[in-house]
Amino acid sequence: MSAGRWGTGLAATVVLVATGVWAAGPGGVDAHLWGRVRPVIEARLVADSRGSGYGEAEPALHARWFCRADARDLDEHEGVVRAGVTTLCVEYGVRAGTLEECGGAAGPQVVRLERDARGAYRVVTREEPPVRRWCGWNGTRAAPTAW
């Protein structure tokens, strides 16, 4: 194998590793705090998603929402937690014994939580970026390939 091929292979490996590190996001999130606020954030996402999917319009589908939040940044100051998260919510239903995806949404959000008198967290606000419009916008929240 020539030195040129080794160089190309090494360069490609470096690019892939760097892309993976960039996509993974920051690793400095407080795991203990995230473990306490994540279930609260995901429960709120599910509650706020109800009533917005196709599956709920057809009761025979027995549709349910499932949401996941991944922390990008997390900060607690004077009892208020600010969580920058990437969210994914998908609605699933069952038709003729087969699981079907009925709806969904994904995107970044900033969630603020406060502790109540019992020490449990509750969501105070959820902020999403505005939906951007571009030529050929089809009404979905899917992002264009280039801004």
pLDDT at 19: 52
The confidence score (pLDDT) of residue 72 equals 95
What's the pLDDT score for residue 18? 46
pLDDT at 128: 86
**What's the Cα-to-Cα distance from 83 to each of 9, 33, 87, 122, rounded to whole Å?**
39, 10, 11, 12
**Residue 116: its pLDDT value, please?**
87
Q: Which residues of the chain have pLDDT under 50?
A: 7, 11, 14-15, 17-18, 21-22, 137, 141-147
Q: What is the pLDDT of residue 112?
A: 96
Residue 105: predicted pLDDT: 86
